[in-house]
Amino acid sequence: MKTISSVVEHYIKTKPFLLSALSQGIINLTSLARTMMPELEQELGKDIKHGALVMSLKRLSEDLDFRVNNRIIKVLKGIGEITVRSSLTDFTYAVSDTILSRQAELINSINANPDVFYTSSRCVNETNIVVSASMNNVVDRLFSDEKKIERNDNLASITVKLPKDNINTPGIYYYIFQRLAWEGITIVEVISTSYEFTILVQEDEVDLAFKVIKDLKQLIKT
């Protein structure tokens, strides 16, 4: 049987931005209830009193504040090594029949120099290559016959090790990227594995981005 509480919780959980704002107590519950009411009344098939909806939202916000923030903060406090690299270039090429062989040649060149930063990702239509700027000429030469879509110079990377709990905790990346967005930091690229993620930012923003991520480990539930 559907109740006001259950439909309210479902409504909120399907809207991540609203969920975050509600859990942080930065949203007007009276106005939110008024906005939600038509949709919830249709789902329940009966009228809902505005006051009852506001009270349901209030109880939910207090519960979410515990369930959402504590799980996220537990993971963030477990953040491991944070590694920063500078002087990087981000290349984007169209996927082609020869792109993988060109990448293989690039990797062979990089293997001779362990200090070079390299990472790559491939989507349906594009391949992304991030390398130390010292390899720019090599990339330009090897990929001269490929269709270059984009090139970004003067970048820096921040690589973060996350605890294993991160893959079972919803909202981790949203929480981190939200904090970076609040500081006006533009993320050029995001590259991730199961327990690490790397962001690329402009070199003049890397110090602030590093501070934002490092400070996440100091979050204390109040």
Give the pLDDT band of residue 103 (cuts 50, 70, 90): very high
Where is pLDDT greater, at 218 or 177? 177
Q: In this predicted model, what pLDDT tens digit does every residue of 130-185 receive, in sequence order? A: 999 999 999 999 999 999 999 999 999 999 999 988 888 877 888 889 889 989 99
- Does the structure show a pLDDT above 60 at 119? yes
Our measurement of the distance from residue 20's CA atom to the centroid of its chain's CA atoms, rounded to an integer in Å, reads 14
- Burial of 53: CB neighbours in 10 Å, binned 0-12, 13-18, 19+: buried
Length of the chain in residues, anyone? Answer: 222
Average pLDDT, the chain: 88
Distance (Å, whole) CA 119 – CA 190: 11
Contact present, 88 and 157 (Cβ < 8 Å): yes
Pairing of strands 196-202, 126-132: unpaired
- The letter for the amino acid at 101 is S
Q: What is the pLDDT of residue 222?
A: 40
Q: What is the pLDDT of residue 169?
A: 80
> What is the reported pTM?
0.69
The secondary structure of 147-211 as a DSSP string is -EEEEEEEEEEEEEE--GGGGGSTTHHHHHHHHHHHTTPPP-EEEE-SSEEEEEEEGGGHHHHHH
Q: In this predicted model, what pLDDT tens digit does every residue of 38-77 receive, in sequence order? A: 999 998 888 999 999 999 888 877 776 545 566 777 888 8
Q: At what angle do helices 50-76 and 29-44 cross, to 10 degrees?
A: 110
